[in-house]
Structure 1
């Protein structure tokens, strides 16, 4: 079967729109490690979605969440701009003077690399969304374990997604720590920019769950990993 048509356009659209079941998404995740065409198709479709989102002057405001101060319009616009930069959708667009990566090099895995490398981006702080994100991460990790494939998976949180890793906020502390112990190749990452912004706006010191890695910028980390050949998935 032609690799390009292994998944129909409708199926890929449903994947990007988060309309598939966990089992169906698992099929896509498994194929991403070795299918350059599939990675290109998904990246191009995400690019289109981001451009559409950027067309709105006022992005939809979250009506609920664990960290409401992170939902201010100015921050939502910053996240939208970061996403556009991350996938290289706007030529000449810069954020903190960081150049946008090219689409193909961002999605390409290193040739001959037998270790699956996946970055999963979480920026939504709604409880049901966070639960779904953890379900998908665990499903992916279990798949790699069952197939005896070595994998490195990073869950990068920024924006409201930081709620997942806040020790005094998240309802998923035990689950996150359990997953860290169960899957050695899994790491949870928090954005320093988001942490600083949260502390400035609320005056509350941020306390993260044990074992969480702090990086300078969620967007910058995504760009770095894409340049290093990691697959990128937003949940």
Structure 2
């Protein structure tokens, strides 16, 4: 029997986990050690994008004050992929600075959303330095949640 999918608040942390990163009770000990924080950007809105990036830095500083360094992954999905596009990102320089200051923060772009945008725009989209592709952005978010990661919506 598979594990139940956790109840997720659209604008908050994974239900059952505290804001301090405590894993949900059903998460095995191995996953608890590797758990981190996933931040979703799902629309092309510079305000939303900026908040998501700010959250990543603030979470890093918060946990550093507790002597911890959680893994953090920012996932761009749908029209939010513009944040990691080399040709369109409104936050190219802040993202480069964030990656340099906090190399444990990962950037993932939905390959499906990228393919759709490339088809519509008739071009090949290049990613900013440090960003990688994942097959489906929302699938990556759920995959990480099932491993005990906290979820934050940008």
Per the normalisation by structure 1, the TM-score is: 0.54
- Count residues with an aligned counterpart: 142
Question: Does the 8 Å contact 1:163/1:169 carry over to 2?
Answer: yes
Cα distance, 1:211 vs. partner? 1.2
Instruction: Find 1:167's aligned residue among 86, 93, 96.
Output: 86
Question: Does the 8 Å contact 1:109/1:231 carry over to 2?
Answer: no
Tell me which stretches of 4 or more aligned residues in structure 1 moved more than 6 Å: none
Cα distance, 1:35 vs. partner? 6.2
Instruction: Find 2:49's aligned residue among 130, 143, 149.
Output: 130
Deviations 1:131-188, CA, capped at 9 Å, x for gaps: 1221112111111222210210110001111011111111211111111111122101
Instruction: Say which structure, 1 or 2, has more relative contact order (CA 8 Å, 6+ apart).
Output: 2
Question: Does the 8 Å contact 1:190/1:215 carry over to 2?
Answer: yes
User: Over aligned residues, Cα RMSD in angstroms?
Assistant: 2.4
SS at match of 1:160: helix
More helix by share: 1
Deviations 1:57-85, CA, capped at 9 Å, x for gaps: xxxxxxxxxxxxxxxxxxxxxxxxxxxxx
Q: Structure 1, unaligned stretches of length 5 or more?
A: 1-12, 19-24, 38-107
Question: Does the 8 Å contact 1:189/1:215 carry over to 2?
Answer: yes
Deviations 1:25-54, CA, capped at 9 Å, x for gaps: 9xxx963511648xxxxxxxxxxxxxxxxx
Q: Structure 2, unaligned stretches of length 5 or more?
A: 1-8
Per the normalisation by structure 2, the TM-score is: 0.80
Output the CA distance in 1 between the equivalents of 2:117 and 2:53. 23
